[in-house]
């Protein structure tokens, strides 16, 4: 019977150990360090220091403060734990934390609030619950802030984006959007709304209230530009305009409707139709619709989220 020499066995064991160590080091080297949650030293810590969970509270009623990437978090209490069977010291990058008692999250010009926040280092997602809301302050004084309210709100620490779901309401000046879901790119100031979508632009001294429905809406809040696709319908006073998509420039009070575009004014009984390759131009300040035979090219690329193809 053949026997494996002891030195050969030891060599194989050493090689396997080295391979395992190399894999662990490689994993650690590629771990996204911007997802690691760090608590300020002023927080009071209690709990099992080896296995967790770690329970944090503020001294003298002060808030517990933590940070992850460019995100800052403040709450009355927090608790952080490791996956089951894993010591806290070796769980960095896989831990989860719950902030409770009323949470405030800030990132650059964004401030979000909710009753609780659950954060996962493995996903880089912080989920606000309990009627969360967020405000993005404008870059320039005098411009409109963006306000978002929803059932849940998830902030991604890897990007400058948040995803809000459940009865979402986005308000930017005199524009209001409602949908089941809103993805908001804070850097581009771009909101993507979908699911049971309705949009409205409040009446002004120059224009009647404008209401728009469709399948998906993309709003550049800084420039007051709107792109809606999927069986769109615009209603303003007695004028109803339908088509496949619409581009609306609020600053210029003009909308361009493309794809099977038809406009009907119930007051005077007139109908305006665009040619197959044409478009309709609707002046929302003048209550006037005309056909454009040359058509209109919606600048779709302008409305893409960061990283979206």
pLDDT at 267 over 80: yes
User: Residues 137-187: pLDDT tens digits?
Assistant: 999 999 999 999 999 999 999 999 999 999 999 999 999 999 999 999 999
For residue 12, the model assigns a pLDDT of 46
Mean pLDDT of the chain: 91
Contact 255, 245 (CB under 8 A): no
7: three-class secondary structure by DSSP: helix
Q: What is the pLDDT of residue 309?
A: 86
Give me Rg for the CA atoms of the chain: 27
Cβ–Cβ under 8 Å, residues 197 and 177: yes
DSSP string, 50-115: TT--EEEE-GGGPPEEEEETTEEEEESEEEEEPPTT--GGG-TTS-EEEEESSEEEEETTEEEEES
State the pLDDT at residue 220: 98
pLDDT(21) > 50: no
Query: Bridge-partner residues for 196, per DSSP?
Result: none
Distance CA 35, CA 97 (A): 12
- pLDDT for the residue numbered 13: 43
Closest CA to 191 of 252, 239, 144: 144
Tokens matching residue 93: 């990058």
Using DSSP's 3-state secondary structure scheme, residue 172 falls into strand
- Angstrom distance (rounded) from CA 195 to CA 215: 7
Residues 184-214: tens digit of each pLDDT:
999 999 999 999 999 999 998 889 999 999 9
Give residue for tokens 């909308």. 255
Question: Cβ-count burial of 276 within 10 angstroms (0-12 exposed, 13-18 middle, 19+ buried)?
Answer: exposed
Identify the residue whose tokens are 């004028």: 239
Which tens digits make up the pLDDT trace of 101-135?
999 999 999 999 999 999 999 999 999 999 999 99
Cβ contacts of residue 184 below 8 Å, gap of 6+? Answer: 134, 136, 146, 148, 161, 162, 163, 164, 170, 190, 191, 192
Residue 4 predicted with pLDDT over 60: no
**Given this model, what pLDDT does residue 118 score?**
98
The three-class DSSP label of residue 207 is coil
Asked if residue 10 has pLDDT above 60, the reply is: no
In angstroms, how far is CA 184 from the centroid of its own chain? 4
Check residue 84 and give its pLDDT: 95
Query: Can you list the domains of the chain with their CATH numbers?
Result: 173-309 (2.60.450.10)
Cα separation values, 283 from 219, 253, 255, 290, 304, Å = 19, 6, 6, 9, 26
In this predicted model, what pLDDT tens digit does every residue of 272-282 receive, in sequence order? 999 999 999 99
Under 8 Å between Cβ of 181 and 193? yes
Task: Give the pLDDT of residue 16.
Answer: 38
């Amino acid at each position: 019977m053949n026997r494996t020499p002891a030195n050969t066995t030891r060599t194989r064991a050493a090689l396997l150990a080295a391979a395992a160590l190399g894999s662990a080091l490689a994993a650690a080297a590629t771990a996204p360090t911007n997802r690691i949650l760090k608590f300020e030293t002023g927080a009071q810590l209690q709990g099992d220091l080896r296995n967790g969970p770690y329970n944090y509270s503020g001294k003298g009623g002060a808030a517990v403060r933590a940070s992850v990437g460019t995100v800052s978090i403040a709450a009355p209490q927090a608790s952080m734990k490791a996956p089951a069977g894993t010591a806290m010291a070796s769980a960095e990058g896989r831990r989860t934390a719950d902030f409770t008692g009323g949470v405030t999250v800030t990132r650059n010009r964004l401030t979000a609030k909710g009753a609780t926040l659950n954060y996962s280092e493995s996903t880089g997602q912080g989920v606000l619950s309990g009627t969360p809301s967020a405000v993005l302050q404008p870059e320039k004084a005098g411009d409109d802030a963006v306000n978002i309210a929803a059932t849940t709100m998830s902030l991604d620490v890897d990007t400058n984006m948040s995803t809000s779901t459940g009865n979402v309401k986005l308000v930017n000046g005199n524009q209001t959007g409602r949908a089941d879901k809103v993805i908001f790119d804070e850097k581009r100031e771009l909101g993507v709304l979908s699911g049971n979508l309705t949009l409205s632009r409040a009446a002004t001294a120059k224009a009647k209230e404008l209401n728009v429905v469709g399948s998906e809406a993309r709003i550049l809040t800084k420039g007051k530009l709107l792109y809606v696709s999927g069986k769109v319908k615009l209603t303003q006073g007695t004028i109803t305009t339908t088509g496949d998509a619409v581009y609306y420039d609020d600053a210029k009070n003009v909308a361009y409707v493309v794809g099977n575009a038809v406009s009907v004014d119930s007051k005077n009984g007139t109908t305006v139709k665009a040619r197959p390759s044409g478009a309709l131009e609707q002046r929302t300040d003048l209550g006037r619709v005309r056909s454009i035979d040359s058509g209109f090219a919606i600048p779709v690329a302008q409305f893409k989220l960061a990283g979206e193809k």
